[in-house]
Amino acid sequence: MVKSKKQMSEKIKKIFAVSILFLSFAPLFPQNSDIRDELLVTKDIRTAEEGLAYEEFRRGIQAFYRGSYNDSVLQFEKALGYTPEDNRILEWLGKAYYYSGLEGTALQEWERCSSLGWGGLLLKNKIEIVKERRFSFENDAIEALYTEAGSYPGFYKGNMIFSEPVSALANNNGTFWVLCYGSNELLLFNINGSVIDRITGPLNGFDHPLDMIRLSSGNILVSEVSGNRLCLLDKKGHFVKYIGKKGRQTGELLGPQYLAEDFRGNIYVSDYGNRRVAVFDREGNGLFSFGSNAKGEFPGLKGPTGIAVISDSVYVCDDLKGIIYEFDLSGNFRKKIVLEKTFKRPESMKVWSDYLVVADSNKIISVDTLTGEIYENINSGNAPSRLTCAVPDVNGNILVTDFKANEVYVMSKMQELVGGLFLQIEKVDSSRFPEVQLDVKVESRSRNSIVGLKENNFYITEDKRPVSKLKFLGSASDNDYADITLVIDRSMTMKDENSLSLVENAVKDIVQDMGGKGVLRILSAGLRPANEYTGNPENERLFSSKALRTPFSSVVPLDLAFRLAANELVNAAKKRAIIFITDGKVTQHSFDKYSLAETASYLNNNSVILSAIYLNQEGISEETEYLVNNTKGKSYYVFQEEGLSSVVSDIVDIPQGNYSFSYVSAMQTNFGEKFLPVEVEAYLMNRSGRDETGYFAPLQ
């Protein structure tokens, strides 16, 4: 039967309307279960429940990127209420739990996804790393065996780059200095091994330099063996002045070798030709020397080489006896750390935590200063080698100079090389779409931030296609300020006038050291933690403890106080920290709602450092110290001899492996309804890491 033109027209309109309706939902129907595919996989026709789930999912992602992790958890839970078998929502729910510090719950969701075939090796690797970290918060032990991750040869394609490297010095931004005995120069390398600066010293040049250290002022001090002097350089390697001269009197040197500095700024030099340790003040004036025979108690130094200072102890290697001696800061002999002939030919000795890292012929050996136990970290084998220096870098590696092989090695733990980098895309800002901004964090498996990476260390794609107009916006390690939240203990033991006065002094010291940079927040930790101030640090120069509104309490839930403080810092500057001011006494029920591990996870996963200032030296609490140690913070005593002047600078100097990028997206957004994938890979020597995420453009 032939239909009229009018009937045909009506039918075409209906088909067209249905087609438009279907196409508008097309982005919601993925074609397979790959991690980059769209949401809601299982059905050809979207139900009302699936549509509602999709809207909640979109809101959950937006809340996540705002740093509102609790809100994102609620949104993802609602979405799962509509489509409980959706693996993508499950994975994002796990991610929200992870950044909330609830790692156990996050692992449950991720393992459920992985068991259903979602996420592939990328998700399995994330699960493995997070599991390892949950039981290894403590800083890396130096006892591990290290292997070569990369090397920088002195000759490349027949051209000499440097000759006879003898010492290395790591910088907080991932670059490092290498001092060269043979070519009489100081080279600055970036993390990829390129020479970015070459220093030859003053007009007359270096005269066979051997060792270098960074002083507390930030300046660099170099020893010159043949010049019989020390050469002071500024932070960029420019000549400042000479210290010492040839001779045997106080302030004079014969063949100075290795260097160290104590907390007062005094400089210790192993004066090999005079068989002693020479000591200078921070201005370079000679003070005294030590190391001679002490009436049978100490046989005297025969060949002093490596030297190091930890707290109030000076450690000195003797290469003729193969031993390490311990002295106090005045040069009085204390004891032998190891037996004679423990070392064959010890050279430099550097500090890593409470360990001494000794370069000894073809080995790098660490020594526990408390027990005297030794651990072999590196062995170059039978190849011609003379290792002269081993120093930890900012990324948890060890930089080793090989004088005879004319190479600089970067040594890493085997598990770090095998496991690769842990990369996380933390935030996507699409508010100015098609311009998109990414915040990326790169760490080792053991939580060490990887700093110093450049644009060429990253590869960013959208749905496997390279992005366009990629810009590297910078890294957090370059920032010279931090946002800081002061959490002031309001327990009853902090109520006396003396404590109130000490709190005021501590706050004023921190305000002064911030120098008007960053944002200062003050939070009172009482029964209910409360914000007291947010703004420019300068406005709190006249801070008064009596102005705090939060009453004192016999119960102080520190878990809630630290969590509230961290909440305010999630969207703050990339360098951010909590400083807890307390007498050290922890009340009952301090960690009832969130455990210590969950609190530490929340801080760590959001790059928040926690440091503590104690009003009472004997009142240090195990709970607070656990959080301090496991977030890379430090503890201070309000009356410590060196004062509190380094608290802020210590926070600023802590490595932060956060990087920012922008690019112009070529993806179709479907009026802001489409889930847009993005992937980031990072490469460093023999290691790499990868993460994948997605976002929504603004609704139109």
Chain segment 595-615, per-residue pLDDT in tens:
999 999 999 999 999 999 999
In whole angstroms, give the CA distance from residue 272 to residue 257. Answer: 7
pLDDT for res 43: 43
Note the pLDDT tens digit of each residue in 373-411.
999 999 988 878 899 999 989 888 899 999 999 999 999
Q: What is the pTM assigned to this prediction?
A: 0.84
**What is the tens place of the pLDDT at every residue in 452-469?**
999 999 999 999 999 999
pLDDT level of residue 143 (50, 70, 90 thresholds): low
Confidence band for 12, pLDDT divided at 50, 70 and 90: very low
The shares of helix, strand and coil residues in the chain, as percent rounded to the nearest 5, are 25, 35, 40
Write the DSSP string, 622-635. HHHHHHHHTTT--E
What integer pLDDT is reported at residue 135 of this predicted model?
66
Kindly indicate the confidence band of residue 490, based on its pLDDT and cuts at 50, 70 and 90: very high
CA angle 97–99–100, rounded 5-degree value:
60
Report percent pLDDT > 70 for the chain: 92
Nearest residue to 372 (alpha-carbon basis) of 335, 400, 345: 335
Of the CA atoms within 13 Å of residue 662, those in its CB half-sphere come to 10
Mean pLDDT score across all residues of the chain: 89
- Residues paired with 637 in a beta bridge: 614
The radius of gyration of the chain's CA atoms, rounded to the nearest angstrom, is: 30
Give the model's pLDDT for residue 324: 97
Cα end-to-end span (Å), the chain: 46
Which strand (E) or helix (H) includes residue 223?
A: strand 220-224
Comparing CA positions, the residue from 344, 384, 337, 338 lying closest to residue 364 is 344
* Residue in 485, 632, 629 with CA at minimum distance from that of residue 566: 485
pLDDT given for residue 103 in this prediction: 94
Does position 30 have pLDDT exceeding 50, yes or no? no
**Angle at Cα 91 formed by Cα 658 and Cα 697, nearest 5°?**
65
Look up residue 599 and give its amino acid. T
Supply the pLDDT for residue 456: 94
The answer to whether residues 54 and 62 touch, using CB atoms and an 8 Å cutoff, is no
pLDDT band at 142 (very low <50, low <70, confident <90, very high): low
pLDDT beyond 60 at 213: yes
Angstrom CA distances, 258 to 228, 229, 362, stand at: 12, 12, 19
Would you place residue 185 in the very low, low, confident or very high pLDDT band (cuts 50, 70, 90)?
very high
At 145, the pLDDT band (50, 70, 90 cuts) reads confident
Q: Looking at residue 3, what is its pLDDT?
A: 43
Give the Cα separation of 355 and 491 in Å (integer): 37
Structure tokens belonging to residue 64: 């996540």
Of all residues in the chain, the percent with pLDDT exceeding 90 is 76
pLDDT at 44: 41
Task: In whole angstroms, give the CA distance from residue 322 to residue 357.
Answer: 14
Contact predicate 123/34, CB 8 Å: no
Q: Give the pLDDT of residue 38.
A: 41
Lowest mean pLDDT among 114-118, 138-142, 173-177, 684-688: 138-142
Q: What is the DSSP string of 458-496?
A: EEEEETTEE-EEEEEEEEGGG----EEEEEEE-BGGG-S
Read off the pLDDT of residues 532-585 as tens digits, 9 standing for 90 and up. 999 999 999 999 999 999 999 999 999 999 999 999 999 999 999 999 999 998
Q: In this predicted model, what pLDDT tens digit does every residue of 291-314 receive, in sequence order?
A: 988 777 788 999 999 999 999 999
The yes-or-no verdict on residue 19 having pLDDT over 70 is no
Residue 109 scores a pLDDT above 70: yes
